[in-house]
Amino acid sequence: VRAKPNVAGADDNDADAENKAHIEKQMIKHDDVSDDALLLEKIRFENADDNVHFNLSIHDQSILLALCLDVKNDNPMDGLTGMQMFAYLARVLNQHDDWMVYATGLLERAWLECERTHGRERAILQIQALADQHSNRLTLTQSTFKSVEEDSAPAQDRLRHLHGIVYPPRWDMLRDLAERYAKLGIVTSAAELFEEIELWDDVVECYRIAGKSNKAEEVVRARLAEKETPSMYAALG
């Protein structure tokens, strides 16, 4: 008697591989940012045996992320602390089994890379991509309807294991991204993000720095028409 092929098992494997491919698309690679990138995507040891990694369960990956945050909370934020955290993040990012766990690892890595000269541009785009993926609008990092509808994970996949990790709400991520844009001098983009989450004082300040006084005054008067506040009156000078 010939054994029948396990069609259901093959279908499950194909679905699992497709799901992992969707999860991995969250990553912004160095080559996506620059054609002459200096940094490797992963740590590459000279001994090939050191580059072999065994699969971890999703719970084990969540524990590594917790240990990474423990290093951050118990040490001053300097170069050595960042390198210690990178070790945990690099191990978590070797796998892409869960959408939210992988996204958390990418976000933590992006925050660390913002302090690096050669990684800052990729880090900003990575945070932008992570914020955009919770929206169905066309943006810089999801510029086609295919990337919005087909390459995105359903809500139930994104919410899985949410309570086992530390992941910020979207509005907090947008505020963080806007502040980083402002520090880099990209104040108009920062103002648009601040406006989206209704941080009006920051919106006015960004337009003022950008030299768009008329736009800043327009925002102030619109806010005063809705509700009079001391900060808006102070912004008028």
> What's the mean pLDDT in 201-216?
92
Q: What is the pLDDT of residue 3?
A: 43
> What's the mean pLDDT in 149-154?
65
Q: Are 33 and 122 in contact (CB under 8 A)?
A: yes
Q: Are 98 and 60 in contact (CB under 8 A)?
A: no
- The predicted model scores a pTM of 0.77
- For the cut 60, the answer to whether the pLDDT of residue 32 exceeds it is no
Q: What is the pLDDT of residue 43?
A: 72
* CA distances for 150 relative to 134, 146, 160, angstroms: 14, 5, 19
Residue whose entry in the numeric block shows the structure tokens 């402002």: 182
Q: What is the pLDDT of residue 12?
A: 58
Residue 113 vs residue 9, higher pLDDT: 113
Comparing CA positions, the residue from 197, 235, 196, 234 lying closest to residue 218 is 235
Residue 190 vs residue 11, higher pLDDT: 190
Residue 47 vs residue 208, higher pLDDT: 208
> What's the mean pLDDT in 39-59?
78
- For the cut 70, the answer to whether the pLDDT of residue 39 exceeds it is no
Q: What is the pLDDT of residue 2?
A: 38
**How high does pLDDT run on average in the chain?**
81
- For the cut 60, the answer to whether the pLDDT of residue 35 exceeds it is no
- For the cut 70, the answer to whether the pLDDT of residue 218 exceeds it is yes
Comparing CA positions, the residue from 182, 53, 30, 156 lying closest to residue 99 is 156
> What's the mean pLDDT in 185-205?
92
pLDDT digits (tens, 9 = 90+) for 82-141: 888 998 998 999 888 888 899 999 999 999 988 887 778 888 988 988 888 877 665 665
- For the cut 80, the answer to whether the pLDDT of residue 29 exceeds it is no
CB contact set of 214 (below 8 Å; sequence gap of 6+) = none
Q: Are 63 and 87 in contact (CB under 8 A)?
A: no
Cα 201-203-207 angle, rounded to 5 deg: 120
Residue 11 vs residue 81, higher pLDDT: 81
